[in-house]
A and B are shown apart, each in its own frame.
Chain A
Amino acid sequence: MRFKDSIKISFTALKANKSRTFLTMLGIIIGVGAVIIMMSLGKGAQGLILGQIQSIGANSIYIEPGSFDPKGGGSFTTSAIEEMTIKTLKIKDLESIRKDPLTDIAYPMVYGSGRIIYRNEDEKITFIGITSEAYEMDDWHAINGRDISEDDIRSTAKVTTLGHKIAEDLFGEEDPIGKTIRIKKTNLKVIGVMEERGMEMFQNFDEYVYIPITTAQKLLLGIDHLNAIAVRAESESAINPLIENIRLALRENHNIYNPEGDLSKDDFKVMSQVEAADMVKQVTGILTAFLSSIAAIALIVGGIGIMNIMLVSVTERTREIGLRKAVGARNKDILKQFLIESVALTLFGGLIGFILGLMFSLAAAIVLSRVLNTNWSFIMPFGAVVLAFGVATIIGLVFGIYPARKASKLNPIEALRHE
């Protein structure tokens, strides 16, 4: 029997009961659509996060306490706790880093949270202790008043520069410069208001309060260690060698014996954009795979629906099968006919599911871009397309073979006698 004729027979059968055909396809449509949406949104989310990471500036390196080996499968929670409890990162480390010729700029950070109070206004904020290099490295300055200076650091001055939004919240129309605010029982004079910066790396810079690091350490937090060190390498090619140098220097400072360079033995983590990006890719990859697998369950259910309907179809067309065999159809002709029908169902359902998934992902990208006020790019990974159609075909074959075989094995005489 010619392939073209098989197709014609199968399509005639599917067209005969359009609403049933559609309902049967529904499982596949939903399954494929869901998988497509998961993979597209997953990629989009990944793109968004990577975009945020890239915004922190080229050639940046970031050092924090606590060990983390993105390739070794370290635990997020452990490292989060470590970040808060390990106290080995010190000014001495900063000095070692500054001495390295590959370093362009480096500055230390401490952070804490508390309430900022001005007259009747008070707000819960996060304050960050920094040095004057921070303004230079990020090219971010006060638009009202001045930045924190080296003198302020040296003299442990009780001063602060406010993030744009905090200044607005506390002072409204008033000029904040020269006024005194209070954090954690310490009075600080406002010397500057920062220009607007918006959200980067998932942090809203306009909502932070900036204080000289020495002031923050001694008067507000009572600590002498650092929470982070931010570094800019002098060139892109310097990033990796500088990271190595930093690791060696810090190991020496912290008395860590780690000749093999086992990152889990360090009590600090050195991250560049690259590692952060890798981490993100890994996590979003796992998440996407997980969500897509769940969506795939819908496909399995759809396949079972197809098998069910094909069995019903075979029973309904028993006489027809008997007749075809009587006029010369072989078993495999009948098998082919019904298998093509079920694959046609799944492929066509897959196509519709794909188109719907595409449209939904596109719409979602537009909506999310607006809501998150960022650029959510619409991505349709080619792998998802191949996967969706490939899986649809396989489902058609796997769930169609049992009814098709049943049909092909019917005894023509009994079949012709059937109701």
Chain B
Amino acid sequence: MIEVKNLKKEYRDDSVVTTALDGVSFTIKEGEFVAIMGPSGSGKSTLMHILGFLDRPSAGIYKFEGQGIDELNDDELAYIRNKRMGFVFQFFNLLPRTKVLDNVKLPLIYSQTSEEEKIEKTKQAIEAVELSQRINHYPNQLSGGEQQRVAIARAIVNNASVIFADEPTGNLDSRSGQKVMEILQNLNDKGHTIILVTHEQYTSEMAKRIIRLKDGQVLSDEIVSHRRVARDGLLK
């Protein structure tokens, strides 16, 4: 589903060139659970942005479900983001004065769906993250963990095939973090592809595969031998 070949990303600031990605290659199939790890400056955020169609590479090939990013214009990228991708961020990024229901519904208003279908899908997504009883609450009435679960519901509301999670537990206590990882593992069991960026070793071991980056290049790409299951206990 995701095919990356020799991906490069350079930033130019007047005459200073910063290389964020320096030739990254890998493939990710449907249903995988991949963690991307690396120290800061390794290029993992940049890679995540490009994979999520939020940025374009300077060179190299990126094919998502057979379509190359270079062949698609900005509106088409937005369309694919809307229909096939879901995003979970470290700082939740929920709309502040908006109910949980409308937060989760957000991606749907940019797609052509009937109002009944929107409500139906929204409710299902909220159920999947076990927050049905909070459907009319506002973000400031929720705990950090609950907010992140709302974000996950938003990510899956349009039945996205892949979920990009950027340090999803970075802003949570260990208890909430465990709950969030449990949900992500459940979703993966149901068939969603999960791509996770993290700097926490124990979080990355909840994935099935770890790609390590250093200085914009792939350092290692390995299957996780002893995978942690979040349901079984606290992260640490």
A residues with a Cβ closer than 8 A to B are 1-2, 5, 12, 16, 319-320, 322-331, 333, 412-413, 416
Contact = CB atoms under 8 A, between A and B. Distances in A.
Contact of B111 (A16, A320, A325, A328): A328
Contacts of B74: 330-331
Given A1-B110, A322-B93, A331-B74, 18 more contacts: A1-B109, A5-B109, A12-B97, A12-B98, A16-B97, A319-B93, A326-B81, A326-B93, A327-B87, A328-B82, A328-B107, A328-B111, A329-B78, A329-B110, A330-B79, A330-B110, A412-B54, A413-B49
A328 B98 CA distance: 18
Nearest to B79: A328
A208 B81 CA distance: 88
Interface of B: 49, 52, 54-55, 74-75, 78-79, 81-83, 87, 89, 93, 95, 97-98, 106-107, 109-111, 154
B87 A413 contact: no
Given A329-B110, A330-B75, A323 B93 contact: yes
A333 B82 CA distance: 13
Contacts of B52: 326
Contacts of B81: 326-328
B95 A328 contact: no
A179 to B, nearest CB: 87
Contacts of A320: 95
A40 to B, nearest CB: 40
Contacts of A325: 54, 78
A158 to B, nearest CB: 91
A327 B49 contact: no
Contact of B83 (A322, A328, A333): A328
A12 B103 CA distance: 13
A413 B95 CA distance: 17
Contacts of B54: 325-326, 412-413
A217 to B, nearest CB: 86
B169 to A, nearest CB: 18
Q: Which 5 pairs across A and B sit closest by C-beta, in order of nearness?
A: A328-B82, A327-B107, A328-B110, A330-B78, A5-B109
A181 B87 CA distance: 103
Given A413-B55, A416-B89, A327 B106 contact: yes
A10 B74 CA distance: 24
A16 B109 CA distance: 20
A108 B93 CA distance: 89
Contact of B93 (A1, A329, A416): A416
Contacts of B98: 12
Contacts of B154: 327
A333 B49 contact: no
25 contacts: A1-B110, A12-B97, A16-B97, A322-B93, A323-B93, A323-B95, A323-B106, A325-B54, A325-B78, A326-B81, A326-B87, A327-B106, A327-B107, A327-B110, A328-B78, A328-B82, A328-B83, A328-B110, A329-B78, A329-B110, A330-B79, A331-B74, A333-B110, A413-B49, A413-B54
B67 to A, nearest CB: 16
B75 A2 contact: no
Nearest to A15: B97
